[in-house]
């Protein structure tokens, strides 16, 4: 559902509403397929001119416990895969082990990535992303200008955490 929302940001689909936040960030309210609270996220698509097709974009979402950083990919990973993710700005680089979220097209990054989004990534204009696993390897660039405003909008729309 979230992948459909991310890739379909130019038109509402299946109970999904979205609006422009800051720069090219989009706020998305999607119906929860498990009949729970709506899924609320902000998304930014990858720069298609500088990215492999498999990298769709970056999503920051509300969860029941905390805000989460998720990479959205086109080709799903097997459920037990633990792809390595390297994210780089002009001045720093971070390495993570991602957890695959069913049905496999979302890669949940650890809580450290959420702290980075609220901190050091605020001064970057883009993130260079590399995803590697036995199944596949790809990378690209995700522009993140307006991240601060996008996070503020997400916080204002998330249920109390």
| pLDDT per residue as tens digits for the range 106-156 | 999 999 999 999 999 999 999 999 999 998 999 999 999 999 999 999 999
Q: What is the pLDDT of residue 9?
A: 40
What is the average pLDDT across 157-161?
74
DSSP for the chain reads: -HHHHHHTTTS--TTEEEEE-STT-EEEEE--TTSSSPEEEEEEE--TTSS-TTEEEEEEEE-SSSEEEEEEESSPPPTT---EEEEE-SS-EEEEE-EEETTTTEEEPPHHHHHHHTTGGGG-SEEEEEEE-SS-EEEEEEE-TTHHHHHHHHHHHSPP-
**Model pTM score:** 0.85
Model confidence over 11-41: pLDDT tens digits? 344 456 667 676 789 999 887 777 677 789 9
Fold of 2-157: Immunoglobulin-like (2.60.40)
For the cut 50, the answer to whether the pLDDT of residue 4 exceeds it is: no
């Amino acid at each position: 559902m979230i992948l459909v929302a991310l890739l379909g940001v130019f038109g509402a689909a299946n109970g999904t509403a979205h609006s422009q936040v800051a720069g090219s960030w989009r706020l998305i309210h999607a119906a929860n397929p498990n009949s729970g609270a709506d899924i609320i996220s902000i998304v930014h698509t990858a720069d298609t001119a500088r990215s492999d097709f498999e990298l769709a974009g970056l999503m920051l979402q509300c969860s029941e416990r905390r805000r989460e950083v998720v990479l959205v990919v086109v080709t799903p990973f097997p459920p037990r895969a633990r792809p390595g993710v390297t994210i780089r700005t002009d001045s720093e680089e971070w390495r993570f082990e991602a957890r695959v979220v069913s049905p496999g097209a979302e890669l949940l990054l650890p809580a450290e990535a959420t702290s980075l989004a609220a901190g050091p990534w605020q001064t970057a204009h883009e993130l260079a992303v590399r995803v590697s696993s036995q199944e596949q390897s790809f990378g690209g660039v995700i522009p993140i200008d307006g991240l601060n405003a996008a996070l503020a909008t997400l916080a204002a729309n998330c249920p109390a955490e």
